[in-house]
Amino acid sequence: MGVAMVSPDSAEIAVNPATAEPLDWKLSPISAALGVEIRGPDLRESQSDISIAEIRRLLLRYQVLVFRDQPITPAQHVAFARRFGQLEIHPIYKQQDEFPELVTLIANDKDPGQENVYHSDVSWREVPSLGSILHCIQCPPVGGDTIWVNMARAHEALPEEVRSRITKLTAVHDIAPSFSGMVSEDRRNQIRNDFPPVEQPVVIRHPETGKPVLYVNQAFTTHFANFAQCAREWEGYSGNDRFANEALMKLLLNQASIPEFQMRLRWQPNTVVFWDNRSTQHYAVQDYFPQHRRMHRATVIGSKHVAA
C-alpha cells in the first residue's frame, strides 16, 4: 500500500498568536506524521495567555508536543493542565493524595505495565478527553518508548470504498475489558453501573480542526453497534455478516500499527508530553521488564464526539 506523506516544515517557528511575532522557542519535528519537540517554555512557571494559545495551536498542528527537562511538581503539573480545561478523575488508576486529577502509572519488577495496546485514553467515556499530559518521573535506561499514531492520516489512507462504508457506523467502547481485572468484584459492578458501554462514531469529526478521524481502538472498542443496518445500504454488499463484520473491524484496528502514521519517543526523566486524544492513539512499549517506570498523568476533559 502506498501512503503519500507530507513532511512538516522543519523551519516553522512558534509565534505570538496576537502579533505573529516569533517566540523564543525552538521547534524540532519528530516524524513526518506527527510530533514536535519544543524547547523554550519552562513549565514550572505559570504560562502567559500568549504561550497557552500557541501551545494550543501547536497541539492541533502536530498532535503530540514534547517538552524535555521539565522537573515539575505535581502542583505545577496540575496547574499547567488546568489551563486547557477541566481535568478528569480516573475511576481506577492510583491517584495523588493531594491532587486526585493526577494519576500515577507504575510498572516494576512485580507489576508489569499494561498499556501495550493501541488506544485513545478514556474513549469509554460518553464525553472523552481532549488530551493527556504525561510527566516521566522514572524510566529505564533502555526501552519503555511510547508510540503515537496520527489517526486522521490512518483514516485518509483507507480505500475510498471503505471510507464510504464506515461513514455511518458506530462502535461500542467499554471500560470493562481492560480494567475489570484490576479491581474487586464489588468495585467492578459499581464501575459497570457508573460507566456503562457507550457508542461512539467510527469516524469522528475533530471539534477544532474539522478533520475526520478514525476512532476505534484495541483497548476499548468491542464491536460495531449498527453493522447490519449500515451493511444493507452498501452497494454490492453480500456474504456472511459475521465474517464481513470481523474483517472490517480488524482492518480498521490495524490502521494504527502502520509505521508511516507514527512517531516514537524515547523517554528521559522530566520529559513532559501533551497529546491530542481526539486525533491520536498511543502504545506504551513493554520491553523493559523488570526495570521500573513511573509516570504522572493529567487528562483534560473534552467534548462529546460527533460523526464526521
pLDDT tens-digit readout, 217-272: 999 999 999 998 998 888 767 666 766 899 999 999 999 999 999 999 999 999 99
Give me 224's grid cell: 460495531
**For residue 278, pLDDT beyond 90:** yes
Q: What is d(CA 82, CA 217) in angstroms, rounded to the nearest whole number?
A: 27
Task: Catalytic residue, from 125, 173, 297, 305: name it.
Answer: 297
Q: Is 297 a catalytic residue?
A: yes
Mean pLDDT of the chain: 90
Q: What is d(CA 222, CA 227) in angstroms, rounded to the nearest whole number?
A: 13
**For residue 181, pLDDT beyond 80:** no
- Please work out, in degrees rounded to the nearest 5, the angle formed at the alpha carbon of residue 286 by the alpha carbons of 283 and 287: 130
Answer for the pair 279, 114: CB distance below 8 angstroms, yes or no.
Answer: no
- pTM of the complete model: 0.91
Task: Catalytic residue, from 77, 119, 165, 278: name it.
Answer: 119
Task: Catalytic residue, from 125, 282, 293, 296: name it.
Answer: 282
Q: What is d(CA 35, CA 208) in angstroms, rounded to the nearest whole number?
A: 18
Give the per-residue pLDDT at 7.
45
- pLDDT > 70: percent of the chain: 90
Beta-strand ranges (E) seen in the chain are: 26-29, 36-39, 64-67, 102-107, 129-138, 146-150, 170-173, 198-201, 203-205, 212-214, 221-224, 262-265, 272-276, 280-284, 293-301
Which domains does the chain possess? 16-308 (3.60.130.10)
Give the per-residue pLDDT at 182.
62
* Burial (CB count within 10 angstroms: exposed 0-12, middle 13-18, buried 19+), residue 53: middle
- pLDDT > 90: percent of the chain: 73
Confidence of residue 184 (pLDDT cuts 50, 70, 90): low
Backbone φ and ψ of 130, nearest 5°:
-75, -50
Task: Catalytic residue, from 121, 125, 173, 206: name it.
Answer: 121
Q: Is 121 a catalytic residue?
A: yes
**For residue 116, pLDDT beyond 90:** no
